[in-house]
Amino acid sequence: MSTGESVSINEKKIDGYIKKLGIEKAVNINVSKIRGELKTKYIGHKIYAFQEVDSTNIIAKFLAGVGVEEGTIVIARSQIKGKGRRGKKWESPLGGIWLSIIVHPEISPQQASLITLGAGVAVTKAIRKLGVDARIKWPNDILIGDKKISGILTEANSKFHTLDYIVVGIGIDSNLDLNSISKKTKIRATTLKDELKRNIDERILIKNLLEEFENIYEHFKNEDFEEILYEWRSLSQTIGSYVVIEQPFGKILKGYVVGINNQGSLILELDNGELKKVISGESHITEISKI
């Protein structure tokens, strides 16, 4: 089968899927303008933009499954069922950046989780370009001070022990009104609009984000994880802090974070002096304090 035919079969499948979902294309996200300004080799060259979806990650997983091109983006103005990790909700009203990036790296599934750290670096660098002091809280929260501005949800699919695709879902509270999210979430969140006291140009932020992501993804693809970890360490709010970590089955660990290893696990010095490795994806920090 020629490439031409497979592309048209894919496009038919994708059109059918979008029709079945009954979702509207976003007229007010200027996709060609974003693409025109992008200085990337492949990330963001194809963008699917929608008005309102359940979750951009769900659509991205479908697109990844039919084999869309490397670096394809799904973006929506709002999400009804935005997803956080482990079944948590990601509140996604109008005014935020909600997008998913589809990639197919030829690496082992065990290494896939490092892309979350890489995406964290890309988001943090893109936000910092606007002049705010964003930092990363392990493994996937981007904070300004102690308030969350962005979260990342990575979903990977493997076939016969090899990685089929990774969908990196990124949410950034750019211009949203904090009153449009629940009280419980609002007290621990901030927006770029609130930090900078002005509406930000989301197109510039998206452009910066996709360019930073491609830079870091090139390291990831080439298995140059040291570079990602080096950048992650320099942007981390977690290293050098005393933390409380919630593990599966309610186990709690407390200690001082002395570093992160080359699998992306935290190295914690427990109160009794013992060093403990804490694996990302299974554990998360519930409290953090600088000492």
Q: Which residues make up the interface to ligand BT5 (CB under 6 A)?
A: 55-57, 79, 82-85, 88, 90-92, 98-100, 140-141, 148, 151-153, 169-171, 173, 181, 185, 189
Q: Of the two residues 184 and 251, which places its CB atom closer to ligand BT5 in the complex?
A: 184
Q: Taking CB positions, which residue lies at the least distance from ligand BT5?
A: 151
Q: Of the two residues 57 and 236, which places its CB atom closer to ligand BT5 in the complex?
A: 57
CB of 63 to ligand BT5, least distance (A): 13
Q: Of the two residues 99 and 206, which places its CB atom closer to ligand BT5 in the complex?
A: 99
Work out the angle at residue 37's Cα, subtended by the Cα atoms of residues 169 and 119, and round it to the nearest 5 degrees: 25
* CB 60 within 8 Å of CB 18: no
CB of 155 to ligand BT5, least distance (A): 9
Q: Of the two residues 91 and 211, which places its CB atom closer to ligand BT5 in the complex?
A: 91
The DSSP code sequence of 239-284 is TTEEEEEE-GGG-EEEEEEEEE-TTS-EEEEETTS-EEEE-BTTBE
Q: Whole-angstrom Cα distance, residue 176 to residue 183?
A: 14
Work out the angle at residue 54's Cα, subtended by the Cα atoms of residues 52 and 57, and round it to the nearest 5 degrees: 105
* CB 235 within 8 Å of CB 136: yes
Tokens representing 17?
């899927």
Q: Please report, in angstroms and rounded to a whole number, the separation of the first and last CA atoms in the chain.
A: 62
Q: Of the two residues 17 and 227, which places its CB atom closer to ligand BT5 in the complex?
A: 17
CB of 92 to ligand BT5, least distance (A): 6
CB of 108 to ligand BT5, least distance (A): 24
CB of 186 to ligand BT5, least distance (A): 8
